[in-house]
Structure 1
Amino acid sequence: MRMMLLLVFSIGLNLASAAKLGVVQTEGGQVEGKSHNMGLFRSVDVFKGIPFADVPGKWEKPKPHPGWSGILKATKYRDRCLQVTLLQTKTQGSEDCLYLNIFVPQRGSLSKSLPVMVYLYGGAFLLGASNDVEFLGDALYDGKEMADRGGVIIVTVNYRVGTMGFLSTGDSRLPGNYGLWDQHAAIAWVHRNIKAFGGNPYNMTIFGQSAGAVSVSFQMLSPYNKGLFRRAITQSGVSLCPWGLQQNPISLTKKIARKVGCLRANVDDMVTCLKMSDPVGLTMAGKIDVFLILGKGVVMDLLELAPVVDGDFIPDEPRHLFHNAAQFDYMAGVNSMDGHFFAGVDVPSINKRNATTVDEVKGLLAGLTKKKGTAAIDSAYSVYSSLWGPFPDPALVKKTVADIETDFLFLVPTQIALQLHANNSTGARTFSYLFNMETRIPGFPRWVGAEHAEELQYLFGKPFSIPLIYFPRHRDLAGYMIAYWTNFAKTGDPSKGDNKVPVPWPEFTKYHHPHLTIDHKMSKYSVSYDLRSNYVDYWTQTYCSLPTIREEDKGGNC
């Protein structure tokens, strides 16, 4: 009788456990990951550190990986790409960094033909990694919760950043965009190999945040990605952002060459010297020179390393390339206070008790609009101060500063991108959102809404995996976001799929511009129209009609 009970118990345990992939055959060889239990009948197979390309040559496009013999134990994250640390004091990472991680949800039987979501991290094109920001054992971008709850395969990808990823002379000598080529190589690898992991190579979505979102935008616009993915999501960044494209790459390359002792009158000699230089020294030479900017400009001027129009991967100014994105379903949005952190650097008084002055507001506008000259300062000031009244509330003035930077750096470019996508669309759908959950960062004033990158903790399910530091409202929000994002990946419509959502999300079209406000208390009132349209109109029409001072500053959104 006892043996019978043990047998029944062990059969029950086996039935309660989910299926496992075991060893998977890829084009480079066999890989074996690790299965993580997520609950009754549920697990996620995790494969960490699968190479999608060989060790890249310095300022060369990625090359196919030569493969390996035996079974690759894919159980540890690999090094991030060589980059400066957050405090810009030293470097970390390796040149051997082109690896990706795969999270495959399982139930009672092996998953087949699942939608695939490939994530590109942010970090100002200077830093970041597919396993960034470890907390209590899991990285911020750990895909287990999103894969399990959303029923999709999540892939996170490394790509080169900083000097090694984006240095350019603006011509064929150093074309630039090496980090974008890495991303493209990863997307192509996933398209070729994901079927062996239970994924559908013809239903792939790429998504990213900040510089990762700008990267997603460029992947959409590049002619090299036709047929490789089907949908795209950009969170707080698009190719049209003023910080998303280098306008004068040779100037930055000369500055970096000077720092490493390679500045030469002849550009060919300079490039030869740079190619012989130590990668660590080159990486440090690309760090942000914070002390050069304080009091003299705006933080946007620090973000120098970025993609370039190379005539190849990016064949033209981004605003002229949206015909290439016409076949992709597209979802895009920003956080309500995306610009607050940057505004706090540019105008420190907004986070202090002392009042923010008119001169400080005009000083910020002068820094943001310098390519248009002094006419733009008064023009923009009159628009943003129009609701203040004769005796403005000090908190309203401070919030206006954050709104200016949010609009200029993130919101307006995103609205332009949504409009261009809808205008060019050939049957693909477009969706707009505003993430507006109150900040969880202590010490900020009450008027601060959702900070830059704050949505990521919810999207990647941290309120579920680290429940002790969150409240039920945070779990509600995380559930909503995972449902919308993964429904979109499955069907091209965030409201439709097997994950229940709290509010239908209407489509953004050529003539109708709804957006969904995402927070923990969503209702039918979460749908609004024409997001900050007065300010979008100002920057796209009035501001753009002002003359540009220097010829080389033409381009961008105007």
Structure 2
Amino acid sequence: MKGIVLALLLGIAQGDDTLVVLNKGRLRGERVDLDFGEYYYAYRGVPYAKPPVKELRFKDPVEFDYWGIIDAVEDGHICPQFDIGQGQPVGDENCLTLNVYTPKLDSKKRAVMVYFHGGSFVMGGGSSLYFGPETLIEKDVVVVTFNYRLGPMGFLTTADKAASGNQGVKDQIMALKWVKDNIDRFGGNPEKITLFGEDSGAASITIMAMSPLAQGLFSGAIAMSGNALCDQFIQSNPEEAALELASRLECDTESGETILRCLNKLTQQEIIKISQDMFMFWSFPRWFAPSVDGVVLPDKPENLLASGKFAKVPFMVGQTKDEGAAFYRLTINAFNNGRYDDNFVDNKLPRMLPVLSDFNSKLYPMTRLIRKKYFTNVDMEVEEEFRPRYINFLTDLLFSRCTDRFTSILTKYSVPAYEYSFDYRGQYSVVNLQGEQVDMGVAHGDDVQYVFQHIWGQDLEMSSSDSKFSKNVYTTLLTNFAKTSVPTPTIDEFISVSWPPVSPTLHNVMRINNKLKLETDFNKERRRFWSETIPDLFKASGKKAKSEL
């Protein structure tokens, strides 16, 4: 009798060892068998909100009404987005689902890791096809991935709040509430939930820390290559994006209500296709992204952080060594017709800065400072000399300056902040898979392949050295943090260096490679350029609000 009661408390129905009883409803998943008799349980395509269709399109998410038994054995649809490879819209609006992976269905209360996918808020999803959890599961943690609305379907904002904006962020919060309420049924600990994500997923995690609606839903965070202080992850004028989209779709723009009535008559494919045409090049400018709405995000991220209005949970914060490599060819193609020439910096940078960042004044003086900092003693007629310096510039413009600023603010409030630079260069890099012939280092997104399996698809097998690094170093650091809030609680053959948090007096950065290396004052002069030199340029005018060419 006691055994039956225990089974029911754990949510496991007799006769089917994959059946889980939730607070509301029941799920049937599957057991995934691995080598050497190992296995884990997978629950895919679990709805956490009602499909945002018809009258729910562009609206806040609504909790899903469970009934009967749901077969959770297949991934849910990805949310509507434009597939560049296919050259057409893909996905389905019925997409608000999540996946749960657990080593065992028991009462152990394992640490939980919830992954926020990247994709610049316009693409991506949590599918098991690309985010295989096996390496993490081996570390005895529960893993959750999920979908949230993207592009105009997830971030449409009108001035009259007919579309209130941040729908995608509200989806994220509802997914976290589902995890908090139900993860104990999967052997997870609802009091030990760590958020981790890359690119826009990382930015979303930092927004979770600042949003009053997400307080108490997690206990730690890992921001990989992004945060809400990075210009490209916040839309400062979302109403303009709504007007631009509506105009291109020949909708009446008299009010938000008229815009919504028009958009609701159109298919998701029509909306996504036209929104894709709004980009100058892939995802830039960032028309559809989180914005200050007074509810989800009460104020600008900089203001919320500076005033201490954020969750004081431990953070891992970092980026890849050569983030900018992923944007090298994109910017050359978009601003110079795919050709490099020795006048690129002087002639194109003033046009690029307002597209890639919020800088839109003092563009020529800023360009001269950038040239002096990054391109002194460089033969600008030789692309091989120009390329690595330009990648450094893009890395710092898009990521390093906001990573440094974010970590500094956390430290000011005595929040444990473990900063890193991901330096490991394995067999595959996204830029080479996209056609580049030269080695550009460790590009934006290259680190994710060492966290999940099948990032590049089922056909590319990981080398033995890459697999060793993934299992023994990188995922060990991540799961250590999820379990203990410290990435190096113990020292061993592979984790051979203790990793202290950043302090007000020492800017410790862990260089993550085959062998770990702790570096003090990492890239000090490059960081100082963005924290002191560039702000000094704007002190005379006070702020970079109005164009001043």
Give the alignment's TM-score, normalised by structure 2: 0.86
Q: Which residue of 2 aligns with 1:63?
A: 62
Q: Say yes or no: does 1:201 pair with 2:190.
A: yes
| Shift in CA distance, 549/314, structure 1 to aligned 2, threshold 3 Å | farther
- 1:250 counterpart (231, 235, 239): 239
Amino acid at match of 1:110: D
Q: Which residue of 1 aligns with 2:313?
A: 328
Indicate conservation of the 8 Å contact 1:435/1:518, yes or no: yes
In the TM superposition, what is the alpha-carbon distance from 1:346 to its structure 2 partner? 1.4
Indicate conservation of the 8 Å contact 1:140/1:457, yes or no: no
Q: Deviations over 1:421-469 (max 9, x none)?
A: 11123xx411011112226244646551111111111112559x97983
- 1:491 counterpart (478, 484, 492): 484
Q: How does 1:31-430 map to 2 (within 5 A)?
A: 31-40=27-36, 42-56=38-52, 57-69=56-68, 71-87=69-85, 89-106=87-104, 110=106, 112-131=108-127, 139-148=129-138, 150-170=139-159, 172-289=161-278, 293=280, 301-322=284-305, 323-348=308-333, 356-360=341-345, 363-364=348-349, 366-368=351-353, 369-386=359-376, 388=377, 394-425=383-414, 428-430=415-417
In the TM superposition, what is the alpha-carbon distance from 1:165 to its structure 2 partner? 0.3
Q: Deviations over 1:46-88 (max 9, x none)?
A: 111111111121111111111111x222110111112222347
Q: Say yes or no: does 1:535 pair with 2:526.
A: yes
**Distance of 1:460 and 1:351 partners within structure 2:** 36
Indicate conservation of the 8 Å contact 2:183/2:189, yes or no: yes
Indicate conservation of the 8 Å contact 1:171/1:310, yes or no: no
In the TM superposition, what is the alpha-carbon distance from 1:333 to its structure 2 partner? 0.7
| Shift in CA distance, 85/244, structure 1 to aligned 2, threshold 3 Å | same
In the TM superposition, what is the alpha-carbon distance from 1:385 to its structure 2 partner? 2.1
| Shift in CA distance, 232/408, structure 1 to aligned 2, threshold 3 Å | same
Stretch of structure 1 that moved more, 276-285 or 59-68: 276-285
| Shift in CA distance, 432/102, structure 1 to aligned 2, threshold 3 Å | same
| Shift in CA distance, 407/275, structure 1 to aligned 2, threshold 3 Å | same
In the TM superposition, what is the alpha-carbon distance from 1:179 to its structure 2 partner? 0.4
Stretch of structure 1 that moved more, 496-505 or 393-402: 496-505
Amino acid at match of 2:477: Y
**Distance of 1:423 and 1:288 partners within structure 2:** 42
In the TM superposition, what is the alpha-carbon distance from 1:112 to its structure 2 partner? 1.5
Q: Secondary structure at the match of 2:44?
A: strand
Q: Which residue of 1 aligns with 2:9?
A: none
Amino acid at match of 1:437: Y
Indicate conservation of the 8 Å contact 2:77/2:94, yes or no: yes
**Distance of 1:462 and 1:111 partners within structure 2:** 30
In the TM superposition, what is the alpha-carbon distance from 1:229 to its structure 2 partner? 0.3
Q: Deviations over 1:25-50 (max 9, x none)?
A: 11231112111223445321111111
Q: Mind listing any 5+ residue stretches in structure 1 that lack a counterpart?
A: 1-19, 132-137
**Distance of 1:468 and 1:163 partners within structure 2:** 33
- 1:24 counterpart (3, 20, 23): 20
Q: Deviations over 1:123-169 (max 9, x none)?
A: 111111111xxxxxx62212122112x21000001100011001112
Indicate conservation of the 8 Å contact 1:438/1:450, yes or no: yes
Identity of aligned residues (%): 26
In the TM superposition, what is the alpha-carbon distance from 1:178 to its structure 2 partner? 0.4
Indicate conservation of the 8 Å contact 2:329/2:338, yes or no: no
Indicate conservation of the 8 Å contact 1:91/1:283, yes or no: yes
Equivalent pairs counted in the alignment come to 513
**Distance of 1:79 and 1:129 partners within structure 2:** 9
Q: Say yes or no: does 1:476 pair with 2:468.
A: yes
**Distance of 2:77 and 2:393 partners within structure 1:** 38
Q: Deviations over 1:505-554 (max 9, x none)?
A: 221122221111112x214xx21122322222222222123349999954
Indicate conservation of the 8 Å contact 1:115/1:199, yes or no: yes
Q: Deviations over 1:235-274 (max 9, x none)?
A: 1111011111111112211110012221434454334433
**Distance of 2:336 and 2:453 partners within structure 1:** 30
Indicate conservation of the 8 Å contact 2:318/2:422, yes or no: yes
| Shift in CA distance, 61/373, structure 1 to aligned 2, threshold 3 Å | same
Q: Secondary structure at the match of 1:469?
A: coil
Indicate conservation of the 8 Å contact 1:347/1:360, yes or no: no
Q: Deviations over 1:198-255 (max 9, x none)?
A: 1000000011111111111111111111111000011111101111111111221111
Q: Secondary structure at the match of 2:361?
A: helix
Q: Say yes or no: does 1:449 pair with 2:434.
A: no
**Distance of 1:62 and 1:498 partners within structure 2:** 44
| Shift in CA distance, 279/468, structure 1 to aligned 2, threshold 3 Å | closer
Indicate conservation of the 8 Å contact 2:491/2:498, yes or no: no
**Distance of 1:155 and 1:475 partners within structure 2:** 22
| Shift in CA distance, 301/100, structure 1 to aligned 2, threshold 3 Å | closer
| Shift in CA distance, 554/191, structure 1 to aligned 2, threshold 3 Å | farther
| Shift in CA distance, 492/288, structure 1 to aligned 2, threshold 3 Å | farther
**Distance of 1:497 and 1:39 partners within structure 2:** 28
Amino acid at match of 1:84: F
- 2:499 counterpart (489, 499, 505): 505
Indicate conservation of the 8 Å contact 2:40/2:137, yes or no: yes
| Shift in CA distance, 81/354, structure 1 to aligned 2, threshold 3 Å | closer
| Shift in CA distance, 83/447, structure 1 to aligned 2, threshold 3 Å | closer
**How large is the RMSD of aligned CA atoms in angstroms?**
3.0
**Distance of 1:449 and 1:51 partners within structure 2:** 39
Amino acid at match of 1:209: E
Stretch of structure 1 that moved more, 270-279 or 320-329: 270-279
Give the alignment's TM-score, normalised by structure 1: 0.84
Indicate conservation of the 8 Å contact 2:198/2:224, yes or no: yes
Q: Deviations over 1:290-320 (max 9, x none)?
A: 5xx37xxxx6743321111111100101012
- 2:509 counterpart (515, 540, 545): 515
Q: Which residue of 2 aligns with 1:433?
A: 420
